[in-house]
Structure 1
Amino acid sequence: MCRTVDLRQAVLARNDDSARRLRAALAERGTVAVNLLSSPGSGKTALLEAELGLARRRGLAVAALTADLATENDARRLARSGAPVKQVLTDGLCHLEARMLAGHLDGWLPEDCRLLFVENVGNLVCPASYDLGETLRVVLASVTEGEDKPLKYPAAFGLANLVLVTKADLAAAAEFDEAAFLANVRRVNPGVEVLNTSARTGEGVGALLDRALAVLGGAEPHRPVMSAPAPHRHDDGQEHGHEHGPGDGHEHAHTDGHGHAAVGERA
């Protein structure tokens, strides 16, 4: 008897299980994870560096894990804040997954860390499908990207608990239509908070930290109407769940030499 198996659903179900374990493990230790998603060049790293620096000046225990396809440039920039930072090189993988994140946190995440900021791979398609065990999902878009970004990437914006507009100091030069952008955000995610920020001028810096601290204190994040991500396709026209096996060039856990089980993956 032949049976049709939806590979994408199977992969996402496995990821969701890993995410639940990781979220529970982080909650047990009193840590809130914040998942940051955006397109490349949105100013995500610059804003995060400013937020981490502010957190350190306030004496808050924070850490950041940043993912990229290549180079450790972002980690070096974030480390200037004085916060513990770890770079994850995905070697071509277009997103982080919960099990991968748990493996990198194990043996590295400081015990006193209360806020963990995860800078996901610069991409608004694949990362939107993967729950990382975060409590707060934040999507960033710069004023230079266009007002229709939420409509082009409805899953990313539709699942956000918070939306940040970056590079607000360039809004006039980019002829950014803020009202149109807000209307488009509301179409895919009614009620979500949208804040303007500029890492260069300092506008809105601290807003992300304050929202994360509120959630850490027990505040309920915004609940999006959208409950499941839309499928994403590659050039072959097929839906992909990215189920990569060992040795196929896509298993990028990059273990740090610790032999114990990963955070959230304990039996």
Structure 2
Amino acid sequence: MCREVDLQQAVLAKNDATAHSLRAGLTARGTTVVNLLSSPGSGKTELLERELALACERGVPVAALTADLATENDAARLARSGAPVKQVLTDGLCHLEAAMLGRHLDNWLPDGTRILFVENVGNLVCPAAYDLGETLRVVLASVTEGEDKPLKYPTAFGLAHLVVVTKTDIAEAVEFDEAAFRAHVQQVNPGVEILLTAARRGQGVGSLLDRALAIGEGAPVHTPVMARQHTYTRGAHTPHDHGAHSSHDHGGTHTHTHTHTLTHTHSDLGTHEHPHTGPHTHTHPDEPLVMTTEPVSGAQYLS
């Protein structure tokens, strides 16, 4: 007997449930999670280091978890701020998942942490599909990346609660068209706020910290149109809430759209990786699905 299994739904539904639980637990202990997404080289580590240093200067309890495929360079940089920092090495996995984040926070996140900054793997494709249990999802883009970035990566920008432009001090030199960039952002995510920053000059530093603190005290979070539309149409089952993200049912046949690379293992086929874009339905023998998405290490930097 065979059964229809949508592999994307199986992975993402499990991740969403874990993220929902993680968000509830962190909120209960008074911690606001900020998920930072961007392409490699956008300047997010530079900005984050300065946000952490400012928080320590103000006496705000913060921590940071940074994810990379290899090296502990970013954790070493962030630790200079004086905040507790942990490095997660994904061993080639292109994104963090909620379960991975939860495991690395166990017995590490200091009590009383008001803001946890999560620096996701440098990539605007895979991380966009995974809710980490964050309260604030921030997508960053540098002026050197081009004004059409939001149109090229509509899922990442379309699900953002806040968009940050970095390296604006060189905007004129690279002929960055701010008006065009803003128009493209609004095209995929109407109403989202856009911040301009130049971390090395101090411009905009503190903005992320201030917003995260305000959200922790009950300030509203922008709800992207894409998040409201991001629902699974399935049979009769009790839906569950996803905080600032979407709600969906579980049961029956459904269709939804995600863009990400999925790695999975079948008992007789081995492990393979392939991209999925748009609705996909797969038929497999009635056997358990084993996901190969485990991180391999996590070095800690505690100040």
Instruction: Provide the TM-score with structure 2 as the length reference.
Output: 0.79
**Unaligned stretches of 5+ residues in structure 2:** 231-256, 263-271, 281-287
Change over 3 Å in CA distance of 1:156–1:231 after alignment to 2: same
Correspondent of 2:260 among 209, 224, 232:
232
Q: Which amino acid aligns with 1:174?
A: V
Q: Report if the CA contact (8 A) 1:100-1:253 is conserved.
A: no
SS in structure 2 opposite 1:220?
coil
What are the equivalent positions in structure 2 for 1:1-267 lying under 5 Å apart? Answer: 1-227=1-227, 228=230, 230-233=258-261, 238-239=275-276, 245=290, 250-252=293-295, 254=297
Instruction: Give 1:231 shift.
Output: 2.3
SS in structure 2 opposite 1:4?
strand
Q: Deviations over 1:199-241 (max 9, x none)?
A: 1111111111111111011011101000236323589764289
Distance 2:21 2:69 in 1: 26
Q: Deviations over 1:64-104 (max 9, x none)?
A: 00000000000000000000000000010000000000000
Distance 1:214 1:140 in 2: 20
SS in structure 2 opposite 1:181?
helix
Instruction: Give 1:254 shift.
Output: 3.4
Aligned residues: 253
SS in structure 1 opposite 2:259?
coil
Q: Which amino acid aligns with 2:58?
A: R
Give the structure with the higher percent strand. Answer: 2
SS in structure 2 opposite 1:117?
strand
Change over 3 Å in CA distance of 1:163–1:238 after alignment to 2: closer
Distance 1:255 1:87 in 2: 5
Q: Report if the CA contact (8 A) 1:32-1:216 is conserved.
A: yes
SS in structure 1 opposite 2:199?
coil
Tell me which structure has the larger Cα radius of gyration: 2
Q: Which amino acid aligns with 2:62?
A: V
Q: Which amino acid aligns with 1:251?
A: E
Q: Which amino acid aligns with 1:38?
A: S
Percent pairwise identity: 70
Distance 2:289 2:82 in 1: 35
Change over 3 Å in CA distance of 1:244–1:210 after alignment to 2: farther
Distance 2:223 2:5 in 1: 31
Q: Report if the CA contact (8 A) 1:103-1:255 is conserved.
A: no
Aligned partner of 1:260 in structure 2 is none
Aligned partner of 2:238 in structure 1 is none
Distance 1:17 1:143 in 2: 36
Distance 1:57 1:215 in 2: 20
Q: Report if the CA contact (8 A) 2:62-2:114 is conserved.
A: yes
Q: Report if the CA contact (8 A) 2:15-2:97 is conserved.
A: yes
Distance 1:236 1:87 in 2: 25
Distance 1:255 1:43 in 2: 23
Change over 3 Å in CA distance of 1:244–1:35 after alignment to 2: farther
Q: Deviations over 1:154-194 (max 9, x none)?
A: 00000000000000111001100000000000000000000
Q: In angstroms, what is the RMSD of aligned CA positions? A: 2.1
Change over 3 Å in CA distance of 1:253–1:107 after alignment to 2: farther
Q: Report if the CA contact (8 A) 1:38-1:141 is conserved.
A: yes
Q: Deviations over 1:27-73 (max 9, x none)?
A: 11010000000000000000000000011111000000000000000
Runs of 4+ in 1 over 3 A off after TM superposition: 233-238, 243-246, 253-256
Q: Report if the CA contact (8 A) 1:244-1:251 is conserved.
A: no
Distance 1:89 1:62 in 2: 21
**Unaligned stretches of 5+ residues in structure 1:** 257-267
SS in structure 1 opposite 2:103?
helix
